[in-house]
Structure 1
Amino acid sequence: MPRAGLNHAVVVNLAAQVVDDGGPRGFAELSLAKVAAKAGVAAPSLYKHVGSLADLRRDVALIAVRELTAAGTSATVGRAGADALHSLATAWRSYAHEHPGRYAATQIGPDPEDPADARLREAAAESVQVVGAVLHGFGLPDDRVIDAVRAVRAGIHGFVTLELGGGFRMREDVDQSFTVLLDMLVAGVAALATSDTLLDHDATGSHR
């Protein structure tokens, strides 16, 4: 039966549900047809409320980034250093398990030049600020924060993506392995904060 009261917000929320229903691939496989089926309407009816699939994907990503930022903020309030980083990472991992499709949506960087991505850029910047605040707690200078943010994000995201994709099937405890990863990230950030010199690379990529 067609769903009454459709509007832009309702359609976006339905799309977010469809994305999560699809698991880790849900965001990549989002379509207007799937959202229309969820809403109980014909796909062309959605164009009254969203301009295109690209617009809908952007709106879902915006919801997801804001949710992940809120989760990270809540988890790190009143915490510092290793405790804050562990709490942040645990919050990200929990969000990914609860909302695998939306979590995937948070990994798409907004176009720095596209005016349509303005709100998503702002939300993404707020997310980076949360991570940056955690890493500043290690005493990182400003010129090393972005490198550390990228390294921490890559480490956590890589683990979570493998976990959600069924990549960890050995009998050893996965939670323990996640803790080991976080301890390694903490040690790396702490080492970066206390290092007197940055690694320099020549054009061939070798250290010098």
Structure 2
Amino acid sequence: MCNLYNLRASREEVNRHFKAPDDPRFAARIEKDYVAPGKPGLAVREKEGARVTSTMLWGFPFHGKPVTNVRNYTSPFWKSALVNAEQRCLVPVTEFQEWSDAPMPETGKRRAFWFRVPSEPIFAFAGIWRPTEGDPVFSFLTCGYDGDPSAHIVGAVHPKACPVILHPEDYDRWLRADLDDALSLAVTFPSQLMAMS
């Protein structure tokens, strides 16, 4: 489960990359380049047929805690946002972190690994968002692996799930398609297109 990611790009770079100007209602500055649960991050959504970039809080509130990752797509908790294409979004990312499941032999501690897409300095997770009484909130989808998780660059570190990374040519499909078509994009991103540090 991914609970920390970086966005080391200016808001202007994000807007340019996604062809999405700021939504003036949700254009608060973000002070740090990393995003943690319950903290502000950027989400690109559609509004009246055009993309806009909004500042939202990461995690749907649930019993006082932010739920950051969507794994069970049929859960009523997520279903209403998934079904409604207007509540789908792109979550801009430059790299994300996963902790090793097993402790490192030399230290006995779990190690943090960072993953990126070298050909895409800014990439996007498949996300959903919803309005709240305060700031809007977002979460993003995760998925399992086809076959042996250890064969995937992320699965070798974290075999339970991987964030759903979208290819740029699938951005509009995620934001506009019917539910079944949109969820067909919820697959692991190819290992050969990713790098780890």
Common topology (TM > 0.5): no
TM-score, with structure 2 as normaliser? 0.28
Which structure has greater helix proportion? 1
TM-score, with structure 1 as normaliser? 0.27
Which structure has greater strand proportion? 2
